[in-house]
Amino acid sequence: MNISEQKIREITIEVLKEFGEDISPEKLREEVYNRIQRQIEKPSMTQNSMDSGRVIITSYGINKPGVVSKISTILAQNNCDIQDITQKILQEFFTMIMIVDISSSPLSFKELHDLLARAAEEMNIKIMVQHEDVFRTMHRI
């Protein structure tokens, strides 16, 4: 689902009315993001439209052996295609961003999200999974 510029404006105005104009820019971005995410994940959408396309996976935390392996293994086992990956280690910290095609995966977006969330908890790192449309939309706000 592609969110139009007009819809982003409407959501932003709705948030400003609800929270008032004294809302911090960070809180405004977070609340608009959450509402866009809910729009994309509406139950009225067909399961197929939610399970197709690409996602952006961002992970970060204290570096330790096996982090990249664990994440990429989960993706491979679920027929997800890593289309692009960038990783950086800064002293003891690592960051990684992946663009992943999940259209061939038997898992829904939520199932993949939950699987990666459990892995993040086990490894004591952060992993964020976003639909590509949400990611692109957030960078327009």
CATH number of the domain where residue 110 is located: 3.30.70.260
Question: Are 36 and 57 in a shared domain?
Answer: no
Whether residues 98 and 128 fall in one domain:
yes
- How much is the pTM? 0.62
pLDDT at 78: 94
Do 23 and 64 sit in the same domain of this protein?
no
Is residue 45 situated within a structural domain?
Answer: no
3-state secondary structure 37-84: HHHHCCCCCCHHHHCCCEEEEEEEEECCCCHHHHHHHHHHHCCCEEEE
Distance CA 95, CA 113 (A): 18
- CA-to-CA distance for 137 and 140, rounded, in angstroms? 5
- Tell me, yes or no, whether 133 and 98 share the same domain: yes
Residues 11 and 73 in one domain: no
- pLDDT for res 135: 65
Q: Rounded to the nearest 5°, which phi and psi values hold at 2?
A: -100, 125
Amino acid code (one letter) for 102:
I
- Give me the number of domains the chain comprises: 2
pLDDT in tens, the chain (141 residues): 566 777 788 888 888 888 887 888 888 888 888 787 777 665 443 343 443 489 999 999 999 999 999 999 999 999 999 999 999 999 899 999 999 999 888 988 889 999 999 999 999 999 999 888 776 666 555
Structural domain span for residue 17: 5-40
Task: Indicate whether 34 and 99 sit together in one domain.
Answer: no
- Is beta strand 81-90 parallel, antiparallel or unpaired with respect to 93-101? antiparallel
Kindly state whether residue 29 falls inside one of the protein's structural domains.
yes
pLDDT for 49: 41
Q: Say if residue 63 is in the same domain as residue 13.
A: no
Question: For residue 95, is it within any domain?
Answer: yes
